[in-house]
Structure 1
């Protein structure tokens, strides 16, 4: 499970460097996210721009991470590929998560909000 994290202006950016987030890696994803999100940050943004396929197990893992962070922090998503965006839309999870078109939108927003 390849996850890469960096903290930028109080935002923990976590990049999923996998083409698939499915049953085969869902448990490892949750475990790694638990480790990575132990870092202090006011926001956690998951960059899913490399993920081409997401099944129900993968979606469940993302929701589990969101619940583990609550209520102190919210999990936001960025860079959903068309297939992954479709899963979030069809399951109405796009109304649960704050979704950014690209990870650059998150960092630019942070710069604008900084004054």
Structure 2
């Protein structure tokens, strides 16, 4: 599981560089997210624009990452593809996460 990270002050954009977040990569995803959160505070925007598929294990990994956020931190989602967006809405996770159209939109909202 590869990520690319862009830091903008107290906002970090983490782009998932994979097409799938499923059972095969869920543990790796959580481990990588834990690394990203080391010494982190502020907003973290998880950019999922390249992810075209997510299953329950992937959803669980993202929820686990949210729970790993240090005190004062916030995990937000951006760039959900239609299939991934559908999973978040069907499971009502769209009421738990702040979801933005794109990472750029999310960054503009913080300015």
TM-score, length-scaled by structure 2: 0.94
- TM-superposed CA distance for 1:84, in Å, is 0.2
Asked if the contact 1:12/1:41 (under 8 Å) is kept, the reply is: no
2:96 counterpart residue number: 96
| Bigger Rg, structure 1 or 2 | 1
2:18 counterpart residue number: 18
Aligned length: 111
4+ long deviations beyond 6 Å: none
* Larger mean Cα displacement after TM superposition, 34-43 or 92-101: 34-43
Within-5 A mapping of 1:63-102: 63-69=63-69, 71-102=71-102
Structure 2: 5+ residue stretches without partners: none
State how far apart, in whole Å, the 2-side matches of 1:30 and 1:6 are: 19
Q: Deviations over 1:94-113 (max 9, x none)?
A: 000000011110221222xx
- TM-superposed CA distance for 1:65, in Å, is 0.3
State how far apart, in whole Å, the 1-side matches of 2:71 and 2:95 are: 17
Structure 1: 5+ residue stretches without partners: none
* Larger mean Cα displacement after TM superposition, 67-76 or 6-15: 67-76
Asked if the contact 2:19/2:51 (under 8 Å) is kept, the reply is: yes
* Larger mean Cα displacement after TM superposition, 102-111 or 83-92: 102-111
* Larger mean Cα displacement after TM superposition, 50-59 or 9-18: 9-18
